[in-house]
């Protein structure tokens, strides 16, 4: 197993998901109806099977990397494929990982239960529950039976056979997105009525680990595992996917002029990636090498001439965008660096990380100007007021600390979050500050006084990424459940929820065509838009009862209504015919 000395200290499950020794943590754990797969399923008195009991857990935790499509890429999969019973039993070229009828001799179970945190899988994340570990043991001791394969039934017979087969292989979990629409009793098949919900077989979704809004509020960059999808919020649909990115995308940033997008990613304890693309065409302009570990944060200098990147290799690196070459390194941190922020004049940059310190660095000389010490745990986020007078920090300790540039201690502390704060973002006018965190909340604050304004509704899982528009009127967040939510910050109303299954066929560094991207967008008032194949897979429910698919599609599918909602235009709720439809 590759040594991971630095990763040993990273005990808190934030956005990084290390690879090592043949198993990768799949970070797209889901909540709601789909999350039941984490429990022991089936009759406890009968032997567990791979298809019914084991495969769903592996799909949640491992098969983003350990699949047959990635088996030849040893850096990602370690040569192990866990998405089929054949792959599990075959193991790697070096050894078997499952010995049927002998759980104690099976490397897979040993790695899932190992007390050594550097060996136990999923690496650097909470282990499988005792019930799940016992389930794996029972399954192996029973001979590792396959059982009956699960399938996803098509809702529409017009779907091509190849599409149906792909859905059965690649998407077994329904992602359920509720709306604010309540159906009256006896509307359609919903005898008791109830809240209208959209269900789509697109899970498990990879976590949303990075977000950036372009200054005109039109383009939203969404980073997940291995790709960045660009959404046109005016049209309410994706325009391109930047694929072929190794590992989770932890950082995306637009230049101030909106013509470039920087992406930070990498493979833990191996290499860090910094790429710069032109916008909107997605052509790669630069790829900068140098980091020896995951790139977790990056930011453009306000004048656009320099890019800074922060990494788990404990460095902050500077890149000259005019010359396309390195411009210096800061090595003043003693542990992972999580966050970066330039001062408005571009003369200094703030960095912070696992060593619990905040550093102010001269962006020209790369020399340390000042260290701020107050946190007793990891500092995950720093944001600077656009007027350049104060900055805010937060982290595993959920308080927001407000500082002056010359202060030795925080001038104010604000409580609100009950878990780690992952990201902070000021609107360009300085009126609002957006924060997201491990408690699943998304919060707006007064950017001048620090007073709380409101919590934004809808999110429930761990939120990793946040972005707020220049004028402070649009707020976005994404996280563990793989969904992006977009709110009207003035009213706190949710405008839309976006979902983007992984783009699976993009070549290295390729920009996929919009027609090839699978996507869904829903609104709280019941409207839906999406790629044609996925729309044909969508179902609607109310009060636990499935609604007639064709009638629901005619009523609810409206790309124009979704686009209007995203733009903030008034849109009335879906209207249902008064006649009850019976099957």
User: What are the tens digits of pLDDT across the range 223-241?
Assistant: 999 999 999 999 999 999 9
Alpha helices, DSSP H, located in 436-475: none
Q: Global pTM?
A: 0.72
pLDDT bracket for residue 38 (50, 70, 90): very low
pLDDT for position 191: 65
- Using CB atoms within 10 Å of the CB of residue 148, give its burial: 0 to 12 exposed, 13 to 18 middle, 19+ buried: exposed
Confidence of residue 25 (pLDDT cuts 50, 70, 90): very low
Between 555 and 32, the higher pLDDT residue: 555
For the ranges 63-77, 97-111, 232-246, 433-447, the lowest mean pLDDT is seen at: 63-77
- Stretch 538-564: mean pLDDT, rounded? 89
pLDDT of 577 over the 70 cut:
no
Q: What is the pLDDT of residue 172?
A: 63
Check residues 303 and 114 and name the one with the higher pLDDT.
303
CA distance 12 to 124: 7
Q: How many residues does the chain have?
A: 583
Number of H helices, E strands in the chain: 9, 37
SS3 60: helix
pLDDT of residue 151: 36
- The answer to whether the beta carbons of residues 365 and 349 sit under 8 Å apart is no
Residue 41: burial class (beta carbons within 10 Å; 0-12, 13-18, 19+):
middle
Q: Tell me the C-alpha distance between 237 and 351, whole Å.
A: 34
Eight-class DSSP state of 557: B
Rounded to the nearest integer, the mean pLDDT of the chain is 83
Residues 6+ apart with CB under 8 A from 169: none
pLDDT at 9 over 70: no
Report pLDDT for 149. Answer: 56
What confidence score (pLDDT) does residue 159 get? 24
What whole-number distance in Å separates Cα of residue 531 and Cα of residue 237?
A: 9
Which residues neighbour 449 within 8 Å (Cβ) at sequence distance 6 or greater? none
The pLDDT confidence band at residue 116, using thresholds 50, 70 and 90, is confident
Distance of CA 382 to the CA centre of its chain: 20
Query: Where is 330: in which H helix or E strand?
Result: strand 325-330
The mean per-residue pLDDT over the stretch 331-358 comes to 97
Peptide bond into 122 cis (omega under 30): yes
In angstroms, the CA 469 to CA 476 distance is 9
Using the predicted structure, report yes or no on whether residue 6 has a pLDDT greater than 60.
no
pLDDT for 60 = 72
What's the first-to-final CA gap in the chain, in angstroms?
57
pLDDT of 28 over the 50 cut: no
436: closest CA among 404, 411, 458? Answer: 458
Phi, psi dihedrals of residue 132, rounded to the nearest 5°: -70, -40
Sorted by sequence, the CB contacts under 8 Å of residue 191 that are 6+ apart come out as 185, 543, 545
**Domain coordinates of the chain in residue numbers?**
7-141, 161-200+523-567
What confidence category does residue 33 fall into, taking pLDDT thresholds of 50, 70 and 90? very low
Can you list the positions of beta strands (E) in 145-279? 173-183, 194-203, 210-213, 219-223, 228-232, 237-242, 251-254, 260-267, 271-278
CA–CA separation, 497 vs 436, rounded Å?
Answer: 16
Backbone angles phi, psi at 293, to 5 degrees: -155, 180
3-state secondary structure of 297: strand
Residue 309: strand pairing partners: 298, 317
> How many C-beta atoms surround the C-beta of residue 141 within 10 A?
17
d(CA 415, CA 248): 30
Average pLDDT over residues 47-60: 85
Average pLDDT over residues 381-407: 95
Evaluate if residue 373 carries a pLDDT over 60. Answer: yes
């Amino acid at each position: 197993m590759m040594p991971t000395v630095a990763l040993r200290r990273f005990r808190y499950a934030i956005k990084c998901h290390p690879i090592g020794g043949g198993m990768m943590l799949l970070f797209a754990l889901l909540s709601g109806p789909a999350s039941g797969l984490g429990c022991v399923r089936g009759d406890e008195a009968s032997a567990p099977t791979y298809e019914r009991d084991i495969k769903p857990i592996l799909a949640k935790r491992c098969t983003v990397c350990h699949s047959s499509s990635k088996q030849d890429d040893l850096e990602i999969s370690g040569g192990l494929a866990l998405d089929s019973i054949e792959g599990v039993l075959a193991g790697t070229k070096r050894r078997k990982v499952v010995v049927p009828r002998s759980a104690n001799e099976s490397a897979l179970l040993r790695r899932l239960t190992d007390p050594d945190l550097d060996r136990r899988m999923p690496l650097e994340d909470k282990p499988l529950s005792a019930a799940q570990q016992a389930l794996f043991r029972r399954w192996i001791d029973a001979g590792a039976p396959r059982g009956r394969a699960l399938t996803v039934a098509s809702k529409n017979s017009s779907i091509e056979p190849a599409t149906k087969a792909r859905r059965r292989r690649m998407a077994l979990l329904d992602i359920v997105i509720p709306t604010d629409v309540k159906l009256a009793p006896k509307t359609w098949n919903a005898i008791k009525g109830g809240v209208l919900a959209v269900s789509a077989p697109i899970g498990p979704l990879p976590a949303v680990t990075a977000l950036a809004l372009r200054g005109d509020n039109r383009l939203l960059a969404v980073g997940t595992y291995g790709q960045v999808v660009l959404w046109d919020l005016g049209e309410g649909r994706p325009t391109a996917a930047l694929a072929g990115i190794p590992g989770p995308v932890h950082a995306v940033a637009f230049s101030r002029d909106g013509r470039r997008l920087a992406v930070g990613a990498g493979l833990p304890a191996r290499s860090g990636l910094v790429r710069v693309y032109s916008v909107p065409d997605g052509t790669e302009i630069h790829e900068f090498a140098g980091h020896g570990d995951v790139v977790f944060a990056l930011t453009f200098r306000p004048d656009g001439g320099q890019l800074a990147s922060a990494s788990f290799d404990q460095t902050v690196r500077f890149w000259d965008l005019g010359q396309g070459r390195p411009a210096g390194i800061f090595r003043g941190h003693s542990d992972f660096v999580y966050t970066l922020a330039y001062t408005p004049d571009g003369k200094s940059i703030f960095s912070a990380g696992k060593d619990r310190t905040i550093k102010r660095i001269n962006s020209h000389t790369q020399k340390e100007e000042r260290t701020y010490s107050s946190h007793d745990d990891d500092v995950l986020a720093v944001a600077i007021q656009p007027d350049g007078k104060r900055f805010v920090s937060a982290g595993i300790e959920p308080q927001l600390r407000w500082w002056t540039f010359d202060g030795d201690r925080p001038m104010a502390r604000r409580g609100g979050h009950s878990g780690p704060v992952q990201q902070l973002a000021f609107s360009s006018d300085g009126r609002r500050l957006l924060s997201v965190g491990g408690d699943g909340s998304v919060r707006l604050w007064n950017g001048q006084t620090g007073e709380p304004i409101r919590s934004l509704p809808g999110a429930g899982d761990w939120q990793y990424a946040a972005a707020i528009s220049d004028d402070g009127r649009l707020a976005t967040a994404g996280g563990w459940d793989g969904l992006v939510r977009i709110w009207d910050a003035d009213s706190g109303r949710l405008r839309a929820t976006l979902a983007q299954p992984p783009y699976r066929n993009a070549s290295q560094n390729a920009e996929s065509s919009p027609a090839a991207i699978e996507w869904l967008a829903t609104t709280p008032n019941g409207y839906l838009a999406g790629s044609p194949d996925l729309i044909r897979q969508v179902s609607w429910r109310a009060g636990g009862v499935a609604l007639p698919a064709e009638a629901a599609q005619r009523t609810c599918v409206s790309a124009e209504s979704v686009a209007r909602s995203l733009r903030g235009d008034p849109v009335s709720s879906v209207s249902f015919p008064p006649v009850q439809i019976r099957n």
